[in-house]
Amino acid sequence: MKNDLPHSALPHYQPAGNEVAVFEHAWKNRLPLLIKGPTGCGKTRFVAHMAARLGLPLYTVACHDDLTAADLVGRHLIVEGGTVWCDGPLTRAVREGGICYLDEVVEARKDTTVVLHPLADDRRLLPIDRTGELLQAPPGFMLVVSYNPGYQNLMKGMKPSTRQRFVSLRFDFPTPEREEAVLLAETGCAPDLARRLVSIAGALRALKDRDLEEAASTRLLVYAALLVKDGMDPVEACRVAIVESLTDDIEVVAALMDVVAASFGR
């Protein structure tokens, strides 16, 4: 998926530390970047923000078990009268001098690393075996990948030989004050609602690794705030936007809803 946003349309992002400066330094020095952090903590929004900030085209790829090197590089497609070569998102980003962002990169099939390695070191090359091309990445090109280290197993971890090709940033959920500011900016909800939702998220995140596989993300809080702003009961909004997205266990849902109800004085 390609995004072209002018600088005036910067996606909202509130820095937590020096990540903006690190990204810019990495880009200027033609270094690839690895972002690791929990689901929904702002990794994808950060990359979109930085692409718009730098005025670069952005190609985002949501990696999955069936994603192959050909999906990234491209393939020949059958058309009337023969075949035609079609660039994949990685190749388009290289040709255009943009950013290719591979979200949850460890989910992709292992053959993708064969393509990424020469792009992620000082060679900055993309070999296209099917066409016989060897593309030299221009100065503007940047490879960015992300994954959630708390949700990986030994079969889907990132190999040290791959990880050590990247400058790395660690993301986490925002501080309560910053997360409230994000909700206000993203949804325009009432400050009291933002405070309550952030409080609920803090309580639910304390249950991570005990009753829940994933922690409540900032993204889910935004969903809940939007539903409440549209007139939905806040407790019900938290159920459908947050709690039911975290677990399928009926008993766990009931326990989490007790936390939600208490936050709204019910």
Q: pLDDT tens-digit profile of 120-162? A: 999 999 999 888 889 999 999 999 999 888 665 444 667 888 8
- Give the per-residue pLDDT at 112: 84
CATH of the domain at 149: 3.40.50.300
Tokens encoding 181: 């500011």
Same domain, 21 and 133: yes
Same domain, 155 and 186: no
CA atoms within 13 A on the CB side of 196: 19
Structural domain of 222: 176-263
pTM of the entire predicted model? 0.85
Q: What percent of the chain has pLDDT over 70?
A: 92
The model's confidence at residue 21, banded by pLDDT at 50, 70 and 90, is very high
- Give the per-residue pLDDT at 103: 94
The model's confidence at residue 253, banded by pLDDT at 50, 70 and 90, is very high
Domain boundary among 121, 143, 170: 170
Closest CA to 54 of 5, 120, 18, 126: 5
* Nearest-angstrom CA–CA distance, 99 and 122: 17
- Give the per-residue pLDDT at 160: 83
Same domain, 128 and 211: no
If one compares 191 and 149, the residue with the highest pLDDT of the two is: 191
For residue 133, give the H/E element and its range: strand 133-136
Domain boundary among 170, 188, 221: 170
Tally of domains in the chain: 2
User: Contact, 159 vs 191, CB < 8 A?
Assistant: no
Domain boundary among 105, 139, 170: 170
User: Contact, 55 vs 164, CB < 8 A?
Assistant: no
Same domain, 155 and 239: no
Tokens encoding 97: 């001098």
- Give the per-residue pLDDT at 107: 87
If one compares 211 and 20, the residue with the highest pLDDT of the two is: 20
Mean pLDDT of the chain: 89
Same domain, 87 and 6: yes
